[in-house]
A and B are shown apart, each in its own frame.
Chain A
């Protein structure tokens, strides 16, 4: 930023610097130069002093030299002709007997970012590469890279590249690492420095002599190397082993990244490395530096994606400290949600509960959302806490709780009874738009069970004129129409008033169009409206999975120890709940109607005796086709396929669901190469499981269902629906026989116990 009187300052400085009295007094001269640099840092343009500064560079005072060089490097690109005047002094310094002076001059000469400089620096750099002082060699090696960046389009000098490659064997570790860096820059267009076997092994052997910065950089370079054989791979891994426990977080993280990268094909080795590094990683999460703490937490989050159980016992390390900044607290809460398990759930909830009354509104709301997320698995405990919070009658808390309720009911429909009870009479404390939307949604959806629902809506309609948010108005319309369908007597009047206002007086187009749509829909008949508005819902157990499956390490390993995890691609807790869900719900509702039509007809037609017979007689011969798991299928891909495909076959197995734990089931299916993607919880009704497998070139998707009221066969009995792409009846048969075998074995095993 320019200061007032800047011209005056520059003039003063110029006068002082050219004053012979000042020039003879070493200290006074230096002080004026310091003032020049200070003005330069503050953003003042002092380039007009260049001439005087060039004069000042001819000195024996090394401090003064450094200051002048700093000045010249900054302004050289703007005063190239004057900068050339300084070159002579610099070149002379490059031949100074003192290596420090040589290095200093060479470094700064290479830093002059102006086009004509290369012809002057080439010779000093080349002689610098062979200098006997390592300090000069370090500078010269990077000088090669600087020279290349000044003339990027010229041909690469092969002799220089060879020289740099040979400097990889330099006794000085920094020269070695600098050569790597320089080669990387010079050869960028050809894919960077080549790490072949001799170089890789050389680097690995030198690793111990390097300081921690160089170590982490070399470890990153080694990512490029692929060992030829497993023996070599394990040799390298055992060499790297010590560095996993390095006290320096950068080295630890770089080593882990290399470990995960090298062991891509050995998941067990990766898991072992993650286990061994969990101590050091936890230590960074408790580091005195907040920023390092944050980096550690973000990386723990990555590890949790694959190994949620790894930090389960250390949950207390993720409790928020009193003085920690918000961004750390939010991360910690996200982690707490991830690592909840049966043993720690009570204490984690207790801790989260204490954040709900925090002074910071955002923190309190995030804590409430976090409890809601845990509530998908541990329903009752969380509902109790959330209901208790409503009693506080605090505006921001009530709003967050209602939003959380809405999301929770969507995932766990059975919690609706408790939610409806809690929602009664909390409408006064809601002021913000998000909270209002959530409350309206709940009223529309569960209005039947909430006795006061029409009166609450009436209150909203009465204050419609002062309502500013159009989304709230649209939500109000939807809720009112839905409630009208189940409680017509109470709602008719209210709905009429609402529609009249929205169509006649409302100025917002979206709201008016929505009101018109509902109006016309109601004109076409109540049954039609019911079909559209209260159509069947999609099954959330498909999208959000209780007991989220573990992602393979390789998905995130490549972004480990980069800026990615810190940049917040992971959505904050509050965002996921508040912003997305409304849209999600709407789009899901609309989608579901269509989906259901697609699903139901084949279910009926295909359940014929004929296929069952056919199947039972071929069941023995089905073994010839082997099932394989093949490449993993993501949940999104599975869901998409499941919705696209028709049911190829459906059958009641005549076996109830085995009483084993979900883990046992999953393990058992995995043994026979069936990958399970999602389960509902053990006590859920209806109980569902989704799985897939591959056989004979086709992909088989299957759903196990028990206790769904709309499918009479599924009561007390497992019903299997199979979809397939492409069609292959034989594969389905072998899949069925394997599945039946497993389930039979499991249930007989269960009954023995």
Chain B
């Protein structure tokens, strides 16, 4: 059971504080913040104890989401609860940041009041909560020229827009009741996180994909949704379907609410999505990627024992395009090369010359690895596709369905 829940900003401001059981001191908040800021790198910071009080915290949106408990609770439960609280806050407030939490603190108190009673989790389902939550979300929209240019497009609700705006999924689910209906939209996202290690000889040493199908639903009512996956989708090693190139994953698990009666034969997921964000399916694939990893690197390192400088310094850089930038980060001993756009099938190059004091032949061992972080839209590494997305009964009017694919780099490392 949970004694207190509080949300702190990264600077330690109290954004939300709720004491459920009155068994812990109020100064627990400052005790926690002192402990968490005094941490050195090697301590396990998820769970901390002070006297007989245990703090469990997660960091999301740059904030500390903390639960304190006096019992030896299940860490999985508390961590999942805090994650869920953050997710619900995001659902209700639109985005997750210090500002949105500050502006909607009354709403978050209301949420907490319904979610937890006397330290016991009551419910976290949006379907149930929406009956109780009365406060309306306050959204902050910074003025931007970009918004102005889009006014015609979205304000007029034209059907020409075939691309979901990137801000579309960051608005509160409970759009103003007065405003008639809001937008009836449903987003189905296939999100894959890629962790790859490529050896210095270009051989793929490790490739893991963690993927999930997420639904973000703004429809007020929706009785059933059918999502069709690739028919040749197979789970595990033994099972092979069809004759084409199989789309294979190692492990796969589904949300409780997903009905799987048509999954075995037709690969169809049936679900009644509730408002807000839900993860319908999670899957993993290790080692056997059906396609080549998205990026390759051809590194050459040359050393030149020339003049000696005393400071490490980036002398010169040659980049293949002017919109790219590169800077030397002495603190991390790294060069950060940012590439705003990377068209498919293209090759970019950069040449960096770095002066290093007291260079020895062994110093070259310290060069590398190269780590890449990227976001690849419209692409999945497993090849998982959504064949169709059907809503029943058919939504009246302007219901819009969006299917999006994106691959993130969880950790993409290339050795040199």
Contact = CB atoms under 8 A, between A and B. Distances in A.
Q: Do A and B come from one complex?
A: yes
Interface of A: 1, 34, 37-38, 41-43, 62-63, 66-67, 70, 74, 77, 100, 107, 111, 113, 138-139, 142, 145-146, 149, 174, 177-178, 181, 211-213, 216-217, 220, 245-250, 252-254, 279-280, 282-284, 286-292, 294-295, 298, 314, 316-317, 319-324, 326-327, 330-331, 347, 350-351, 354, 357, 359-360, 362-363, 366, 388, 391-394, 561-568, 572, 574
B122 A174 contact: yes
B208 A286 contact: yes
Contacts of A564: 72
B125 interface: yes
B49 interface: yes
B206 interface: yes
B121 A213 contact: yes
B323 interface: no
Contact of B22 (A63, A113, A142): A113
Interface string B220-260: 00000000000000000000000000000011011110000
A66 B134 contact: yes
Interface stretch (B77-85, B142-150, B159-167, B289-297): B77-85
B46 A291 contact: yes
Contacts of B332: 359
Given A63-B106, A562-B74, A323 B80 contact: no
A566 B57 CA distance: 12
- 8 nearest A-B residue pairs (beta carbon): A321-B411, A322-B371, A247-B253, A250-B77, A326-B41, A250-B76, A322-B411, A213-B121
A211 B373 CA distance: 37
Interface in B194-233: 195, 197, 205-206, 208, 210, 212
B89 interface: no
Given A37-B105, A146-B118, A66 B255 contact: no
B109 interface: yes
A566 B121 CA distance: 22
Contact of A391 (B54, B282, B362): B362
B75 A563 contact: yes
Given A34-B106, A566-B75, A392 B43 contact: no
15 contacts: A139-B117, A211-B123, A211-B256, A279-B250, A280-B253, A287-B210, A289-B83, A294-B44, A298-B75, A316-B206, A321-B195, A359-B333, A392-B365, A566-B44, A572-B42
Interface residues of B, number: 86
B120 interface: yes
Interface string B119-158: 0111111000001101100000000000000000000000
Interface in B83-116: 83, 105-106, 109-110, 113
Interface stretch (B13-21, B267-275, B398-406): B13-21
Contact of B46 (A174, A178, A295, A366): A295
Give the most central of B80, B212, B255: most A CB within 10 Å: B80
B379 interface: no
Given A211-B125, A574-B42, 17 more contacts: A1-B14, A63-B110, A212-B256, A213-B81, A220-B74, A254-B77, A283-B282, A286-B210, A321-B195, A322-B373, A322-B411, A331-B44, A359-B333, A363-B41, A391-B365, A563-B47, A563-B72
Given A138-B122, A295-B76, A283 B41 contact: no
Nearest to B113: A66
B77 A213 contact: yes
Contact of A295 (B30, B75, B284): B75
A362 B41 contact: yes
A512 B90 CA distance: 65
A292 B47 CA distance: 11
B415 interface: yes
B106 A37 contact: yes
Given A63-B134, A561-B76, A327 B45 contact: yes
Contacts of B132: 100
Contact of A327 (B46, B73, B110): B46
B117 A41 contact: no
A708 B75 CA distance: 50
A27 to B, nearest CB: 12
Contacts of A317: 208, 286
B415 A289 contact: no
A2 to B, nearest CB: 12
B170 interface: no
Nearest to A149: B21
A567 B208 CA distance: 28
Nearest to B15: A41
A245 B253 contact: yes
Give the most central of A290, A363, A366: most B CB within 10 Å: A290
Given A211-B125, A316-B208, A254 B14 contact: no
Given A323-B411, A393-B360, A562 B76 contact: no
A688 to B, nearest CB: 36
A289 B74 contact: no
A1 B212 CA distance: 42
A562 B362 contact: no
Contacts of B58: 289-291
B287 interface: yes
Nearest to A313: B286
Contacts of A284: 76
A247 B75 contact: no
A291 B44 contact: no
A445 B345 CA distance: 61
A279 B125 CA distance: 26
A392 B362 contact: yes
Nearest to B69: A563
A142 B46 contact: no
B363 interface: yes
B366 interface: yes
B410 interface: yes
Contacts of A360: 41
A731 to B, nearest CB: 44
Nearest to B86: A289
B32 interface: no
Contacts of B286: 314, 316-317
B372 to A, nearest CB: 9
Give the most central of B75, B106, B131, B415: most A CB within 10 Å: B75
Contacts of A216: 74, 76-77
Given A292-B80, A562-B75, A563-B73, A283 B251 contact: yes
Contacts of B182: none
A34 B107 CA distance: 10
Contacts of B284: 282-283, 286
Given A254-B74, A359-B332, A316 B287 contact: yes
A391 to B, nearest CB: 4
Give the most central of B43, B73, B197: most A CB within 10 Å: B197
B412 A393 contact: no
Given A292-B76, A295-B46, A566-B46, A181 B120 contact: yes
